[in-house]
Each structure stands twice: as structure tokens, then as C-alpha cells.
Amino acid sequence: MGKIKDRLTPIGEFVPQPDDDMIICRCEEITKGEIRQAIHDGMFTLTEIRRFLRAGMGLCQGQTCTRLVKGMIARELGISPLEVEPAAARAPMRPIKMIVLGNEGKES
Amino acid sequence: MPKVKETEILIVGGGPAGLSAASAAANLGASVLVLERDGKPGGQLIKQTHKFFGSKKQYAGDRGYQIGDLLIEQCGNNPNVEVWTDTTALGIYEDGVVTAEGQAKHLKINPKKIIVATGASEKMIAFPNNDLPGIYGAGAVQTLMNVHGIVPGKRVLMIGAGNIGLIVSYQLMQAGVEIAAIIEAAPTIGGYLVHASKIQRAGVPILTSHTITEAYGDESVAGAIICKLDESWQPVSGSEQDLKVDVICLAVGLSPLTELCFQADCQMKYVSELSGHVPVRNEYLETTRPGLYVAGDVSGVEEASSAMVEGRLAGISAACSLGYGEDIAPKLQAEALAELSELRAGPAGQKTLRGIMNLMDKGGAVC
């Protein structure tokens, strides 16, 4: 999915589905319809979906929905889930309180 | 300047693999620091009330929480082991420094070797209203019941007939909770038949080739619609059943928790038999990032018995690479490898062996 050509291949019209209001990312309350629409708007990777919709960016950091979102990208693009590049893993991997970061360096 | 904690071996995760790795490495003389997210180490073992299978060496006949206590005791008795509870690893950086949150501080640890034993997370499935209160992962139900002594509800639909689904169903029944049914999308029961028959004998139906189509309820779960699946996994129309339940419990598998391995730039590979993306590693569990080892579910979802042996193997290997126990390490490693082969000799182990073969194979989708 990294090639420009892949980006230019039409993936068809967005067709609404009856269960589009189903929540996929529980932390950020993102629905199946929103994610499918984003794919049709050109977000073809997990990282793009994360940045565009915040799906997978909440409290659980994508532990619950990443696999489901990956499956949806694959289905909409007509590829295997294995071809969808894994989401980048960055620190902090789990939520951290701002006060902890804010106090950093203050302790002697 | 914030202090950086120096340690010889850092172990991320204080479950069966992490604790076994800690005592194995410490026994050879290495100093070890274990990071554990929870208030008490032991991982999933602390809530496992069922007896283990296998041989005496893997604590067969003992219950999971007893094994957990034993591992905690082994680490507690060893002055080379330090365990930081309520401490969550947050990341690993290019220079090998691992960050964590604990003691209300942003901690930095600079280890010589790292053993990642982060385990796995529960998979989720998508169905309408799956965000209703009353829908739990099987792990959460087990924690509620066996750690906190709280039953999740009165009548449960269990999704998934693997060992976790079967064991948690049985424990719910022991706690006086009714199981309306166990449904399984695959055409066969995935878990051990000894667990399945105990449940069936008590009159609970295990419906294979069945899935959930939706949950319903206003404030919380009031019921679920299930249906039959045909050979190509498509719903059979007209086969819908309405089950009145107040709890839906998901036991649909685990995914290795590999974020640290991805961050550490370990070579990763998708291996379905190992339940997801896992780091490529050698026989002694060292990944392609030198000095970073994996053990337990993070290296491929299996059972606590094999996680403990993998932990021991990784612990010995990491300690040996630092120059500890070089005389006896090869013998200990060979023993651990032999135990792993023995554990994987059964039908369930065949899948793992196939997975490890695929993982070691040079071809395939590597990223």
C-alpha cells in the first residue's frame, strides 16, 4: 500500500451499511461508518486513521480496536489484512499523567 | 538531572514468564529488575483457580494462583531480584533506555539486557451494541470473580469455546451464575474436551458454528441474538435465537502485546498459529535486536506452563550472555528446551510448533 499507484486505484463508492453506527473504537467512540468513510476519503493505513479520527489513540491505545480497524481497511481496499502496515508503536504506550511529566526534573 | 536506574537485566512484565525469567537469571548471579503494572505480580496466574496439566516440573496438579504465589516467593527470597509493582513500561529508546511510570514518577532504566514478557491482550469482536455495560472480556470476568469476589451478573452468554471460554464458564457456574450457552464460530470446540464435557454434563449447551449478531438493552445488556453459521462462515437466515442474558462474555482469543518489540525495531512477522505479529527470535529467545529477549505470550500465545519454561530459558540465556553461570547454562538451556518440546508434544502443541517453524523460516511477510 506504499506505492502512489495503489493510492490512485479507485476503491469504489462509499456505500452505507446498516451497522455503520456500531462503535469500533470504544475509548474515542468512533463508529464503523466513520472509519469506512475515512478509508474512502483516502486514509489507507492504521496510522492515517489514527491521526484523522483518533481511533486507537484513547485510553487503551488501540489494544481493543486495532485488529478490527485493520480488518476494515483490508475489506474496503480488497486486500489481505497482512498487507495493511502495522500501526507505529510509540512511547508512551500507556496513558501517563501530565503531572508526572510536568514534575520531571524538579526532583533533586 | 533525573536519575537513570542501572540494572543488569530488566524484565518487563511480572507474570509467569517474567517471574520465571527473574529467578532463573538471579540464580545464576545476575541482578534483575522486574516491572509489573499491577499492584501484585503473578500476571494471569493470580486469578486462575483451575489445576494445571503437564508434568510435575511445570507444577501439574497445582492451581494457577498457587503457582503464582510460589513464583513470587522464589523471587522474593532472591536478593538479586527487585520487583517494582504499580509500574507500567511506557517505551524503549534507541540507546536501550526503557521508560516507565511508577511511584508517581517518569522512570528511566538503563539495562544491559532486556526480557520482554508483556503477555497478551484480549481480542474484541464487532457487533451492534457491543459497548453496552454488561459486555466483558473473559479476563475481566475472571478478575472480578476470583480476585475481587464479585459475580458479574445472573445469566451469561459466553462467546468462544477455547480453553479460556470453557474454564471461565465453569468458574461462573461454580459461583452460582447460570450460563445460557457457550457459542463458538468454528465448527469444533477449541478447548480441551475434559473442560467441555464437565460443562456439557451440567446441561449447558455448547453451540459450534454459531455467532452473535447483536446485543440489546437500554441501560445495560438485556439479551443477545445469536445465529448459526454455514460452512463459509455466513449467517444462516432464520436460525436466529434470542437469549435473555445480562452478561455477554468474550473469550475470542488473545493477541501478543508486542508494542515494545515494534518500538525496539525487532524484526516482526505475522504468524497466525502464534496469534499475531511476533518478534523473530532464535532458539534461546533472543530477538533480532541483540540483548533483547522475549518469553511467554508476547512471543506467541500459548499456555502459562510453557510461558514459565520460556521465561526460565530467556533468563538463563540473558544471564549467561553477561558472563554468569557459563559452566552450567548450556545444560540448563538444554533442559528447558527439552521441557518445551515435551509440553508441545500434544495436539495443541502441534499448532505452536508449526507457528515457530513459520517464524524461523526466512521467507514470508516480514516487517
* Window B:234-253, CB contacts with A under 8 Å: none
The CATH number assigned to the domain holding B187 equals 3.50.50.60
- Residue B366 reports pLDDT greater than 80: no
Model confidence at B258: pLDDT above 90: yes
Helix (H, G, I), strand (E, B) or coil at A70: helix
Specify the residue for cell string 528447558: B336
| pLDDT over 70, % of chain B | 98
Q: Residue B95: inside a domain, yes or no?
A: yes
- Say if residue B301 is in the same domain as residue B322: yes
Residue finishing a domain among B191, B219, B250:
B250
Q: Is residue B46 part of a domain?
A: yes
B324 versus B59: the higher-pLDDT residue is: B324
Residue B323, phi then psi, degrees to nearest 5:
95, 5
Same structural domain for residues B327 and B186? no
Residues B312-355: pLDDT tens digits? 999 999 999 999 999 999 999 999 999 999 999 987 789 999 99
Q: What percent of chain B has pLDDT over 90?
A: 91
**Domain of B17?**
4-121+254-360
Q: Indicate the pLDDT class of residue B284, thresholds 50, 70 and 90.
A: very high
- B14: closest CA among B118, B112, B95, B107? B118
Task: Report the alpha-carbon distance of residue A101 to residue B330 in Å, rounded.
Answer: 44
> Which pLDDT score, from 0 to 100, does residue B1 have?
47
pLDDT band at B50 (very low <50, low <70, confident <90, very high): confident
Query: Can you give the pLDDT at residue A3?
Result: 59
- Unique residue bearing C-alpha cell 454434563: B201
**Percent of chain A residues past pLDDT 90, beyond the cut:** 61
The answer to whether residues B282 and B197 belong to one domain is no
Q: How many residue pairs bridge chain A and chain B with CB atoms within 8 Å of each other?
A: 81
- In terms of domains, do B345 and B334 share one? yes
Q: State whether B117 and B128 are in the same domain.
A: no
Cell numbers for B364? 514470508
Is the CB of residue B82 less than 8 Å from the CB of residue B32? yes
Q: Which of residues B198, B229, B250 is at a domain's end?
A: B250
Joined together, the cell numbers standing for residue B47 give 486469578
Same domain, B277 and B230: no
Q: Are residues B243 and B144 both part of a single domain?
A: yes
Average pLDDT over every residue of B119-137: 94
Question: Do residue B130 and residue A22 have CB atoms under 8 angstroms apart?
Answer: yes
Q: What's the gap in Å between the CA of B269 and the closest CA on chain A?
A: 10
Mean pLDDT (whole number) for B114-121: 97
Look at chain B and report how many structural domains it folds into.
2
Q: Is the pLDDT of residue A73 over 80?
A: yes
pLDDT for residue A108 is more than 60: no
Q: Both B117 and B140 in a single domain?
A: no
- Judgement on whether residues B246 and B128 belong to the same structural domain of the protein: yes
CATH topology of domain A4-102: Arc Repressor Mutant, subunit A (1.10.10)
What mean pLDDT comes out for the span B171-182? 97
Chain A residues within 8 Å of chain B (Cβ atoms): 19, 21-24, 26, 32, 61, 63-65, 67-68, 82, 85-86, 88-94, 96-97, 99-101, 103-105, 107
**Other beta carbons within 10 Å of B144:** 16
Does B366 fall in a domain? no
The mean of the pLDDT values for chain A is 89
**pLDDT-based confidence at B283, cuts 50/70/90?**
very high
The pair phi, psi for residue B145, each rounded to 5°, is -75, -55
Query: Is residue B129 domain-shared with residue B244, that is, in the same domain?
Result: yes
The reported pLDDT for the residue numbered B199 is 96
pLDDT of residue A2: 54
pLDDT digits (tens, 9 = 90+) for B74-108: 999 999 999 999 999 999 999 999 999 998 999 99
> Does residue B106 sit in the same domain as residue B38?
yes
Averaged pLDDT score across all residues of chain B: 94
Q: Residue B365 falls within a domain, yes or no?
A: no
**pLDDT band of A10, cuts 50, 70, 90:** confident
Q: Are B168 and B219 contained in the same domain? A: yes
Residues 44-83 of B with CB under 8 A from A: none
The last residue of one of the domains, among B233, B250, B267, is B250
Q: If you average pLDDT over residues B192-206, what whole number do you get?
A: 95
Q: Would you say residue A106 has pLDDT above 90?
A: no
Shortest distance, CA B244 to any CA of chain A (angstroms): 21
